[in-house]
Amino acid sequence: MSWIQREIRLNERRRGCHLVHKEIVGQVPEIKSFKIGMANVFLQHTSASLMINENFDSDVQKDMEMGLNKIVPENFPYIHTAEGPDDMPGHLKSGIVGVSLNIPITDGKLNLGTWQGIYLCEHRNSGGSRRVVVTLQGQQNKK
């Protein structure tokens, strides 16, 4: 069994849900060397999140952001307000959605469904670039 770990950066994005599948896979070319395995994708932040969702219709991304804002409103009387009105809602959304994904690898590709892709959900108005640790484990192709 082989292990590979990479720390990558995702470009800064505006608040919302963004398809980042190609950006992640493009920075971890070692995925192609695995016959079978698992990829753990871990976001090192507390006010953004990762999810797997539809990769075809961009309206899903807009609706996801709208739904999360309805579930976790900014105008709630939060106690933690030192970092701005979008910070505590960002922490709550991150806790609800999560910061880690486990995805099977089959024949050098992430084995997602036809319409699935990896999203970064940016919950801050100005979150900056985001750090992600990708850990691969499994059986690599014979050389």
Segment 64-72 shows an average pLDDT of 97
pLDDT band at 142 (very low <50, low <70, confident <90, very high): confident
**Which amino acid belongs to residue 11?**
N
pLDDT in tens, 10-60: 999 999 999 999 999 999 999 999 999 999 999 999 999 999 999 999 999
Q: Which residues pair with 85 in a beta bridge?
A: none
| Distance in angstroms (rounded) separating the CA atoms of residues 1 and 138 | 5
- Please tell me the number of Cα atoms within 13 Å of 99 on its side-chain side: 19
- Please tell me the number of Cα atoms within 13 Å of 130 on its side-chain side: 30
Exposed/middle/buried for residue 115 (C-beta within 10 Å: 0-12, 13-18, 19+)? exposed
Residue-averaged pLDDT of the chain? 96
pLDDT in tens, 114-130: 999 999 999 999 889 99
Within the chain, strands assigned E span 2-10, 16-19, 34-43, 48-54, 100-106, 109-110, 116-122, 130-140
